[in-house]
Amino acid sequence: AQRVTQPEKLLSVFKGAPVELKCNYSYSGSPELFWYVQYSRQRLQLLLRHISRESIKGFTADLNKGETSFHLKKPFAQEEDSAMYYCALTYSGNTGKLIFGQGTTLQVKP
Amino acid sequence: GAGVSQSPSNKVTEKGKDVELRCDPISGHTALYWYRQSLGQGLEFLIYFQGNSAPDKSGLPSDRFSAERTGGSVSTLTIQRTQQEDSAVYLCASSLTPMGYEQYFGPGTRLTVT
């Protein structure tokens, strides 16, 4: 079955440090992968998706099909990056429904 | 324009009662999804509506859960004979079309079953 794994429940870093939130998936075909973010007391929102290959708020993520990974990276963390991050997968024929990982809380300390 | 809205924002109910949760998607969005966010299970897909097509109910956890979407717009998720394990935040999302597009999430309904 398709699955998304985020191995870290909590990632704590200091402001200015690099950040990498890990995401691994299991799907044998061509997935569509997303990162969604939920800031405190805000609704879940899209951060970025692999098909657009863009950088949002300094974050990037590269799909590595060989390692079945889609890790989220930022070279210099900011305090306002503190939030819950979810990696999600969908695929053709799946009606677009998202399969989410368990989420990683990113805590950026001053 | 307005985003996805959900009501009520909070609902406390007694075990065994029925509850209805409402979702108003973004106007013009043909795809509508319900998800459940709970401590033990993370974010889980429940049901999907697309236009006049038959809904994808594959994520509904039991036959106590049902949903409908009237006129291709507003959706209602109904939970009958609520159980304590139904306590969760129920999220609605809409999308312009199903595949490859951003899903816009509502603020959620926090359901507590006592």
A43, A45, A50, A99: best mutation site toward chain B, by most B Cβ within 10 Å?
A43
pLDDT at residue B100 greater than cutoff 60: no
Q: Which residues of A touch B3 (CB under 8 A)?
A: 43
Q: What is the pLDDT of residues A76-101, one digit of tens each?
A: 999 999 999 999 999 887 788 999 99
Which residue's entry shows tokens 């692999």?
Answer: A50
The predicted-structure confidence for B41-93, as pLDDT tens digits, reads as follows 789 999 999 888 889 999 999 999 999 998 879 999 999 999 999 999 999 99
* Backbone phi and psi for residue A4, each to the nearest 5 degrees, phi listed first: -125, 130
State the amino acid at position A95 in one-letter form. Answer: T
Res. A16: pLDDT tops 80: yes
Closest CB from A43, A86, A92 relative to B43: A86
By the CB < 8 Å criterion, does A101 face chain B? yes
Please say if the pLDDT value at position A65 is more than 60: yes
Please say if the pLDDT value at position A50 is more than 60. Answer: yes
Kindly identify which residue of chain B lies nearest to residue A40, measuring between CA atoms: B107
Residue B75 bridge partners (DSSP): B23, B69
In this prediction, what percent of chain A has a pLDDT beyond 90?
Answer: 76
